[in-house]
Amino acid sequence: MTTNALSTPTLPPLAPLKGRVLCVDDEPNILRALSWLLRRDFQVVTAASAREALGLVRQGDFDVVISDQRMPEMSGVEFLSEVKLMAPRAMRILLTGYSDMQSVVQSVNDAEVFRFVNKPWDVVELPQIIAQAAEIARQQEALPPPNLTHPEIAGERLPKILVLDEDESTHSAVELSVGDLAQIVHVTSPVDAFRLLEDEEIGIILSERKLGTMDLTHLLCLLKRKHPQIVSIVVTASDDSNLICRMINQGQIYRFITKPLKAGSLRLALKSAIAKRSELLENPSLLERHQVPEVSMEDKQKFENSMNFPVDREIPKDGERPTENGVMNRLGGFFRRLFAS
């Protein structure tokens, strides 16, 4: 007589962890919340202070480092700037729960943050952002420390800097600051800028965020998605930290410079951009670290609407009706390629 033994159910194997993540915050409840949210997909290590976290970074190899901005010993910006030097391969994410223009701009200039995440975070979106960052980091081999000296580029073709601003003082300041290091191309109209981008090999864009009533925010984000090798610097008089965070998250803007421009800080920013451009050309795999999300159809439409104003009236041919040409119509081919998925 034979008996049918009950078979033991076979459980599916656990999915491999997506990366090693260091979470830094001085509030224990925040660290617990992050651990519970992320531990299913990531190996999570926590630290309650920047000093403790720096010790962990020295000992271990992390794919992603997440830091709160407001901590007692050291700000998140200062901490992530140290991480950038100690572990350049690690992707850096800043948690912020308040608006602080100075710290936001500084984090771009010093720590090169990959993404800003506002508290309270979205429990679906945050793991996705970290997974993307971890995948990018794991694709990179050990990276050398960043070049902090920004040496003069000798024996190479000078990079081209496109300056887009209606303010003549901006054009003069750029010439004075780095006219010896780059070819400066001056335009005051987005129409001329877009034509140059189609025909010229532009390495760096320095652009005012707004030209008259035209907001170039969405354009700069679209350009970065289509041309990740271009290094973008935005000149702005705005103190809207939420806007700056969005431009970093969606457009990976390399530097923000506030008006009035200061010659010393402008030269440092532009020399840094030149060095970054050279670094990206020498090692194209680094472009992965500057990925930006796809711009939503709503944002594309907002930008298109802002551009669709008449710039001139064409002289009609015999038998034709006069038509007004907007920027979008005149540069339709450029924008079709820009908006194409």
Give tens-digit pLDDT for 15-43. Answer: 567 899 999 999 999 999 999 999 999 99
CA 112 – CA 253 distance, rounded (Å) = 9
Mean of the pLDDT values across residues 130-152?
Answer: 70
| 85 three-state secondary structure | helix
- Say what the pLDDT of residue 9 is: 47
Report phi then psi at 65, rounded to 5.
-120, 120
Query: Does residue 87 lie in a domain region?
Result: yes
Residue 135 lies in a domain: yes
Q: Considering the domain boundaries, does residue 25 fall inside one?
A: yes
Residue 314: predicted pLDDT: 43
pLDDT band of residue 250 (cuts 50, 70, 90) is confident
CB 63 within 8 A of CB 21: yes
d(CA 330, CA 97): 43
Find all residues with CB under 8 Å of 281, minimum gap 6, and list them: 229
Instruction: Select from 245, 268, 290 the last residue of a domain.
Output: 290
In the listed set 83, 110, 139, which residue is the last one of a domain according to the structure?
Answer: 139
Are residues 56 and 175 located together in one domain of the fold? no
Where is pLDDT greater, at 58 or 14?
Answer: 58
Q: Are residues 112 and 179 in the same domain?
A: no
pLDDT at 69 over 60: yes
pLDDT tens string 155-167: 457 889 999 999 8
CATH number at residue 62: 3.40.50.2300
| pLDDT, greater one: 224 or 335 | 224
Domain hosting residue 60, numbered range: 20-139
Choice among 160-174, 186-200, 209-223 with the minimum mean pLDDT:
209-223
Whether residue 82 has pLDDT greater than 80: yes
What whole-number distance in Å separates Cα of residue 236 and Cα of residue 104? 14
pLDDT at 165: 92
